[in-house]
Amino acid sequence: MTAGTAENGRFTSTKLAGAVRHDWTRDEVAALFALPFPDLIYQAQTVHRAYFDATQVQVSTLLSIKTGGCPEDCAYCPQSAKYDTGVKAEKLMALDVVLKEAKAAKDAGASRFCMGAAWRNPKDRDLDKVCAMVEGVRAMGLETCVTLGMLTKPQAERLKDSGLDYYNHNLDTSPEFYGDIITTRTYQDRLDTLSHVRDAGINVCCGGIVGMGESADDRVGMIATLASLPAHPESVPINMLVQVEGTPLMGESKLDPLDFVRTIAAARITMPRSMVRLSAGREDMNDEMQALCFLAGANSIFYGPKLLTTPNPAADRDRVLMNRLGMRAMD
Ligand code: SF4
């Protein structure tokens, strides 16, 4: 199948829905965002169904294994030491505590266990401890994902040797808007870490955040950048900003929820084989909004009461939602 053009929201005879392409232009992505909403959702559903069972949702659980005290200045993040958010800096969690949490996540139905550490980059001695966590969690039959900040090539290889399945490192936003959000490392630093991870043979989890005061063109730029990476990230988390008191983005004007849905749909259409994760911000979304996100091609969620340091819907609410929609967790 080849990818659909945006003209009138219909697929042309030369290009059908759902090809995996890496040459998406900004104009093409902008044209997707500009489609009438029903046409956009129709395209997203068509692409989604070409690769996935649209009734299934992959479920991940995220644990903060090292909270707070981060030297980076990401303007959305309550874990940055630069902002007074009330998040206390903690040490790296002990292995047995992490394994207990992983077991509970597995019992609750998670298939992937993600571990996040608030570091600019891991020290080699910390990496050894994280590798032991990866080995332990994998031994339980769960997929593993970690997010530890920037990695060198040897560190990525060390993680691969421990059996790591996924590494999360988000591009966050468009290259143009990035400097308004983070000044302590560059967009290129992020791309370099992503290529070390990819070269090491680890699956990539990479997406961004919307609702940070970016323009519509920045949302286009973020999706176009992700979709034109040499290989699409296997997981693409799309986050709605969770505003936290004390961070510079507190009080930012709220994004139109339908623009969030459009971003999900554009990710689905441009990265047809990727798992598109409806990520942070779900706590503030009603069931109808989440249903729209699934219709737009989201097929992964985080399960559990917390996403690192911000609230997430309780597992019970998610179960009720899945039942209401006739959807189920992916095996
Ligand atoms: S997003 Fe990550 S790197 Fe940025 S401040 Fe928060 S913990 Fe640090």
Q: Supply the pLDDT for residue 62.
A: 87
Is 87 touching ligand 1 by the criterion CB < 6 Å?
no
Q: Do 240 and 255 touch, CB atoms closer than 8 A? A: yes
**Shortest-distance atom of ligand 1 to CA 80:** 5
Q: What is the pLDDT along the chain (331 residues), one digit of tens a residue?
A: 333 344 433 343 334 566 899 999 999 999 999 999 999 999 999 999 999 999 999 888 889 999 999 999 999 999 999 999 989 899 999 999 999 999 988 888 788 899 999 999 999 999 999 999 999 999 999 999 999 999 999 999 999 999 999 999 999 999 999 999 999 999 999 999 999 999 999 999 999 999 999 999 999 999 999 999 999 999 999 999 999 999 999 999 999 999 999 999 999 999 999 999 998 888 889 999 999 999 999 999 877 655 556 666 666 788 888 999 999 888 7
User: Of 131, 205, 206, 293, which residue is the catalytic one?
Assistant: 205
Is 77 touching ligand 1 by the criterion CB < 6 Å?
yes
Distance CA 51, CA 18 (A): 8
**Shortest-distance atom of ligand 1 to CA 72:** 5
From 77, 146, 244, mutation site for ligand 1 pocket: most ligand atoms within 8 A of C-beta: 77
Q: Is 206 a known active-site residue?
A: no
Is 74 touching ligand 1 by the criterion CB < 6 Å?
yes
Residue 181, both tokens: 């959000």
Q: Is 277 a known active-site residue?
A: yes
Q: Supply the pLDDT for residue 284.
A: 86
Closest CA relative to residue 299, chosen from 328, 326, 266: 328
User: Of 70, 131, 206, 293, which residue is the catalytic one?
Assistant: 70
DSSP letters of 57-97? EEEEEEEEEE-S-BS---TT-TTBTTS-SSPPP-PPPPHHH
Q: Note the pTM of the prediction, 2 decimals.
A: 0.89
Residue 49, both tokens: 């169904």
Q: Do 4 and 43 touch, CB atoms closer than 8 A? A: yes
- Residue 304, class by beta-carbon neighbours within 10 Å (0-12 exposed, 13-18 middle, 19+ buried)? buried
